[in-house]
Structure formats: structure tokens, C-alpha cells
Structure 1
């Protein structure tokens, strides 16, 4: 194991350039310089070739319109003193066939199978004892969960069609979606999304004595909506970010009603050249 340590930072000349060198220490206590770089102060000047912003039009930080709702899941109880924590890992399925209108034909591509395999390996090598595996009812999620389970060896995999992909909420900005909904080309499924959100995203039960680590293999819209709802971010913000295939989003729920996001759309387990989102 090699540990990298900053060796020196020296001010050089009137330009206040700092030279930083880094060295490593290996298992035999041997040292070696890895690299050195000159650090210069970034300029605050805006180039004349760029359009200067209108200072009066710049946006300001936005405060939450409401304070944190400690009873967001309807399970707040003064008697719930458990120290157990629920870890929820939301995994998007792998890349799939999109040139078809039939859901049963939207199966994983060769790349999608690879992505699911990398996700399964990473989860198995994490050292975490996962306690539950749930999949949606769509073939691309089922195939992804099946590949992941080759490494995790769950005897029982739960399936829930309420986790199927859908359009959860009218986003802001709405763009063409208002017209699509008005003309019946798109159906809002907020009721279903709310139902399944409260089914899986909630604080630990008072009877829970140990931390749980639960995996849910589903879809991008579902995951993005869950993240917004869990963090009490306006639900219409769900379309403002995207997720790679087989990315992992990690939510933590505590007994007092706190929700912490440890990562959104993590794809560190998939090589850069093998990542995709469409």
C-alpha cells in the first residue's frame, strides 16, 4: 500500500508561485517523489472576449420554503429510540434495447449485461452484508438484479411492479411535457410513485436492532423522484439531474427522521469508456 504525502510548499519569486511536491511511502518505508507542480493564483478578471453577466440579474441562494418535516414518513414516535440505521441503495438497471415499443423486448444490451456484472462485483467486494434485494417488474431491471444476485446469492428476491418506470411529477421547467400530458401522450403517475416511495423509504422500525442494507433495482425516474422526496427537495426538481446505467444512489434513514444522501449516481465501479445513460 502506498500513501501519498505532501512534501513541501515553497513560495518562489514575486509572482507568488507555489511549488508543491508529493512523495509516496511504500510498505518498506521507502520514499520517492511522484510529481511536482507550480501553483498559480487564478485570475478573477473576466476576458473581454466573454459576455459579462448582468450583476443585477444573477441568481441568489434559495432558502427552503419550509423547515424540515421530522414526520415526513408518518412514523415519528418518541418511543422509537432504536440506533439502527436503514441504508437504502437505489440501483438503476443496465443499458437496454430502446428501439421497441414492447416492454418485454426492452432487454439488456451486451453493454448493459457488463454494467450489471460490474455492479454485482462491486457490491460483493464492498464487505457489506446486504439484507434485502428488490426489483421492479420490468425485464431490464429483472435481468440486472439477476446478474447482481450471481454475486450476492440471495435466496429470495422480491419483485414490485409499483417500482416500474413512470413519469412521477410535472417537472420545472416543464417544457414540452405540459403539451404531452394535455394531449394524452404522457401520463402522470404521482399516486403510484408516492405509494411506492412510502413503502420503501422510511425510518427504521422501533423493533429494528441492527443496521440494514437494502438494494432496490429500478429506474432513473423512480430513483430521482425518491431522492427529491427523501431529501425534501421540491418534487418538480427530479428531472434536473441524470443517472448512469447501473449507478448506485445511497440514502440513509435514521430513527429520528433524518435522511442523508451518501452518493447520487455513483459509477466508480464501471470503467469510464463503458458508462452510458441512454
Structure 2
């Protein structure tokens, strides 16, 4: 099966899982490259506002440590763009907020891993040490106090034979 077909299958399971959770989502923000893959969202979450954001585009946010064999030429440019996306979408809850607010951010694993490192105040150069299955759900919770919680890479809702990973995420060395 082609990668894009696998991606659509993973997305279908993910969207069904998000709908089954019955949370009140404020918005779904997705990268430009995911525009054509978000069609299933409307079927399962029809009331959800969808916003396309080019800041969430895939690439490498910062040169990883230890170094890897895959070396894009655009760390500086893409890192700044991805950092802007982090600051735009990941922030503390307002002190006056009385109920949880949920945003769905649909993007690639490199962006998610960078967001996780930044939210947890871990060295961002370690982003590639984190592994995620395609279509998994990562929850970042930021309380008004600044306390951060993380549930990373939930993919237990997918059949094991449907789980895939990005290949270059394991080419450290």
C-alpha cells in the first residue's frame, strides 16, 4: 500500500477516535500539506471549524543532537517558522478560563516532536529522539499555573497492522 493510502487509513482511525472522545473542540488547525487529507474530519466532526496554517508545514525544526544522516538545508528558516507556530497555538490557559479548551492540530511528527520538547522545556535538539506512530494523538495540557502535562503518541485505537512510522526518525548515527 502506498504511503498516502496508509496515511489516509491512519487518519480515518484517528478522526473516529477524536469523535468518540466527545470532547468540545474549539478548532482544527492543519498544515497546508494536510488539506486534502482532512476530508474525513467533516464526516465525523461536522461542526468543527477548520483552519489551514502554513506555519505547520513539515521539515526539520532544528539540527538534532546526535546528528543524523538526513540533513535538510533549511534548519534556520524552518525552525523559526515552527517556533512561531508553537507560540501561536501552544500557550497557558487564561486564569479566568473555567473549562478545558481543546484544539486539534493536524501536522507532521517533526513538528509535534518539536512542540513537545519546547512545551516541556527540554532541549529542542533532542526532538528526533522521540518516536511517534503516524496518526497518533499527542495531548499537551498547559494549566494557568504553567504546569505542563503530556500524553504522547496514543495509537492504541488503531489495529497493529495499520501502525506506521516515519522512516528517517530512526536514522540517528
TM-score bucket (shorter structure): 0.7 to 0.9
Q: How far did residue 276 of structure 1 move? A: 0.8
Q: 1:274 aligns with which of 147, 153, 162?
A: 162
Q: Are positions 1:168 and 2:57 aligned together?
A: no
The CA distance in 1 between the partners of 2:104 and 2:64, in whole Å, is 27
Whole-Å separation in 2 of the counterparts to 1:164 and 1:265: 19
Within the candidate set 55, 74, 94, 1:187 is matched to 74
**Which of 158, 163, 166 is the equivalent residue of 2:51?**
158
Conserved? CA contact 1:135–1:159, under 8 Å: yes
Q: CA deviation at 1:96?
A: 6.5
Higher relative contact order (CA 8 A, sep 6+): 2
Structure with higher helix content: 2
Cα 1:219–1:96 shift into 2, 3 Å = farther
Matching residue of 2:129: 240
In structure 2, list runs of 5 or more residues that go unmatched: 167-173
Verify: 1:125 aligned to 2:20, yes or no: yes
- Paired with 1:274 and 1:153, the residues of 2 have a C-alpha distance of 25
- Of 80, 88, 91, which aligns to 1:199? 88
- How far apart, in 1, do the equivalents of 2:93 and 2:42 lie? 24
Provide the C-alpha distance between the structure 2 equivalents of 1:153 and 1:116, rounded to a whole number of angstroms: 16
1:131, CA displacement in angstroms? 1.8
CA distance in 2, matches of 1:175, 1:243: 17
The Cα of 1:222 is off from its aligned counterpart by 0.2
RMSD across aligned positions (CA): 1.9
TM-score if structure 2 supplies the norm length?
Answer: 0.86
Alignment partner, residue 171 of structure 2: none
Are positions 1:146 and 2:39 aligned together? yes
Could you tell me whether the CA contact under 8 Å between 2:27 and 2:50 is conserved in 1? yes
Question: Is there any run of 5+ residues in structure 1 with no aligned partner, and where?
Answer: 1-94, 98-107
Aligned to 2:25, the other structure's residue is in SS state coil
Supply the distance in 1 between the matched residues of 2:48 and 2:66 (Cα, whole angstroms). 44
CA displacement at 1:186 relative to structure 2: 2.0
Equivalent position SS for 2:29: strand
| Structure 1 residue 150: Cα displacement | 1.6
Q: Is the 8 A contact 2:17 2:157 kept in 1?
A: yes
**Which shows bigger deviation, 245-254 or 121-130?**
121-130
Task: With the length of structure 1 as denominator, give the TM-score of the two structures.
Answer: 0.55
